[in-house]
Amino acid sequence: MYDITIIGGGVCGAAIAMYLSKYDVKCCLLEKDNDIAIGTTRANSGIVHAGYDPEPDTLMARLNVRGCELIEHLAEKLNIPYRKVGSMVIAFDAKDEAHLHKLYERGIANGVRGMELLGKDTLLEREPNLSPNVTGALYAPSAAVVNPWRLCLAMAETAAKNGVEFFLNSEVTIIEKINGAFAVTAGGKVFDTRYIINAAGLYSDKIAELVGAKDFEIHASKGQYYLLDKTSDWIVNSVIFQCPTEKGKGVLVSPTAEGNIIVGPNAESDNERDDVSTTREGLEFVSAEAAKTTKLIDYRENIRSFAGLRANSDKRDFIIGESALCRHFINVAGIKSPGLTSSPAIGEYVIEVLEDCGLILTEKENWEYPEPHICFAELSNEQKAEACRRNKLYGNVVCRCNLVTEGEILDALENSYIKPTTLDGIKRRTGSGMGRCQGGFCGVKVHEILCKYYGVPAEEVLWDKDGSYIVAGKVGESND
Ligand SMILES: Cc1cc2nc3c(=O)[nH]c(=O)nc-3n(C[C@H](O)[C@H](O)[C@H](O)COP(=O)(O)OP(=O)(O)OC[C@H]3O[C@@H](n4cnc5c(N)ncnc54)[C@H](O)[C@@H]3O)c2cc1C
């Protein structure tokens, strides 16, 4: 019998798993897909929001500001790409400026530190490539950019190292209540558990429905993006937002944690929960909006267009707490933006929720972060030479854009607690395929390494989720 079963391996499930792994409890995490961090967590803006946006006195405001502090600390401990670049909300007229004052006041109420209202001249000194039509900005120095899936993976790896069991390809389909506990059917197995944490993102209302506790609805809202090559990194220095609207935080132009430039998202309500296609209209809207911020974006430098899906609920705040309709069933639902930022604070908060539900949690004596894997590109020449002497596979460059070596790919396969099985799984852990060629050169090599490592035929290795096969068989061979 598990004490706690977490449903969903996104950044919220991973953060909850990491904080729970500090206590003496038997805990597992069930994820429907073949890897973690491949729901909403993999396709978003990657901004660590400062916290001036949420309404004061909401859970969202509290967890946003706390999460922003925690991520800065965790980024160092977990060795993940993070840059504290600050953010600017820019104004174009008096109405926008009134809005900046409102955000500033809200930020003060929420406990955001160091904000400044900047006039046009100071703003253009700091961000010389913005439109000359700007009139001022709200600057928040605590805002940052982070690689979202690396944050999720690192927290999940920490949880796994400290005893949380992860089950991939384990879609929860049935939950039965038996003698005050639950029997959860997932991936052909039954998991008996005392508590359930529902962190299933876009499907969290469906999971609540399985225990007869659906008192909220999730609606998917799509956001589309351009990701520009690092050659465009001169355009902006910090995260540049326009004033938020009813629909969301608007189109931003921002550096990423890796040094690319990201432009987007739009907001398309009432989408299918799994439709992450991009469209010409969506992307044209994004580029037209971004042109108000700066006219200097060259979309020939676009290396990837993608879309993510927000899990919007019919409630104004995050839905976090024990369900009023089912004891020991804890929802972590409706986690739209700033959910990525808030995730570690959500992890901390769920511990409080569990204690309030009567779970006695005793801290473990031995708890540690996993050892970081080598990142060859970041080593000095002497360290690179030493690494190659120890293992000649560090001398075999697989991804030329990001200088990722075969040694690092094998580290990801051999030394991860949650093992990647797909090309994108390797990309998320090593950065191979994330450069200008987007896997055009290294994809074939990574595919070969995966076939060899798992001892499987080429057609069994997937690009990403189920069904994303790369090759169907040898030319001339019959499939009969
Ligand atoms: C366009 C966009 C931009 C955003 N930008 C930002 C930003 O800049 N900063 C910020 O802080 N936040 C941002 N967010 C919000 C942030 O991405 C989310 O709040 C966060 O990723 C939610 O994580 P999650 O773990 O709740 O959900 P998910 O990452 O979706 O994880 C849920 C997991 O549950 C699994 N699951 C579902 N059903 C089942 C089942 N039946 N059985 C087992 N597993 C199941 C899914 O496969 C998935 O892996 C943005 C979101 C979007 C869409």
Q: Whose CA is nearest to atom 13 of ligand 1?
A: 337
Neighbours of 220 (CB within 10 A): 22
Task: Please indicate whether residue 39, judged by its CB atom, sits closer than 6 Å to ligand 1.
Answer: yes
Quickly state the pLDDT bin for 476 (edges 50, 70, 90). confident
- C-alpha distance from residue 287 to each of 200, 256, 269, 281 (Å): 32, 18, 19, 10
Q: What is the mean pLDDT of residues 449-453?
A: 97
Looking at domain 83-144+220-308, its CATH class is alpha beta
Task: Please indicate whether residue 199, judged by its CB atom, sits closer than 6 Å to ligand 1.
Answer: yes
Q: What is the pLDDT of residue 270?
A: 80
Task: Please indicate whether residue 11, judged by its CB atom, sits closer than 6 Å to ligand 1.
Answer: yes
> Does residue 266 surpass a pLDDT of 70?
yes
Q: What is the pLDDT of residue 441?
A: 92
Amino acid in the structure at residue 55? E
Q: What is the pLDDT of residue 353?
A: 98
Alpha-carbon torsion angle 41, 42, 46, 48, nearest 10: 20
Average pLDDT, the chain: 96
Looking at the CA of residue 8, tell me the nearest atom of ligand 1.
34
Give the residue, 231 or 247, on which the prediction is more confident: 231
Q: Which residue, among 413, 390, 404, 469, has the nearest Cα to 441 in the 3D structure?
A: 404
Q: What is the pLDDT of residue 247?
A: 66
Decide if 405 contacts 383 (C-beta within 8 A).
no
Q: What is the pLDDT of residue 479?
A: 55
Q: What is the mean pLDDT of residues 70-87?
A: 97
Looking at the CA of residue 335, tell me the nearest atom of ligand 1.
19
Location of each CATH 1.10.10 domain in the chain: 376-460
Q: How far is the CA of 38 from the centre of ligand 1 (A)?
A: 8
Q: What is the pLDDT of residue 412?
A: 97
Task: Please indicate whether residue 202, judged by its CB atom, sits closer than 6 Å to ligand 1.
Answer: yes
- Out of 340, 341, 343, 466, mutate this one to test ligand 1's pocket (max ligand atoms within 8 Å of CB): namely 340
Q: How far is the CA of 151 from the centre of ligand 1 (A)?
A: 13
373 is catalytic: no
Separation CA 473–CA 197 (nearest Å): 42
Quickly state the pLDDT bin for 480 (edges 50, 70, 90). low
Which residue is associated with the tokens 């609207």? 245
Q: Looking at residue 90, what DSSP letter applies?
A: E
Overall fold of domain 1-82+145-217+314-371? FAD/NAD(P)-binding domain (3.50.50)
Separation CA 372–CA 78 (nearest Å): 7
Amino acid in the structure at residue 297? I
Q: What is the pLDDT of residue 271?
A: 87
Q: What is the mean pLDDT of residues 331-352?
A: 98
Quickly state the pLDDT bin for 477 (edges 50, 70, 90). low
> Does residue 258 surpass a pLDDT of 90?
yes
Location of each CATH 3.50.50.60 domain in the chain: 1-82+145-217+314-371
> Does residue 355 surpass a pLDDT of 70?
yes
Q: What is the pLDDT of residue 339?
A: 98
Looking at domain 376-460, its CATH class is mainly alpha
Residue pLDDT, tens place only, 146-202: 999 999 999 999 999 999 999 999 999 999 999 999 999 999 999 999 999 999 999
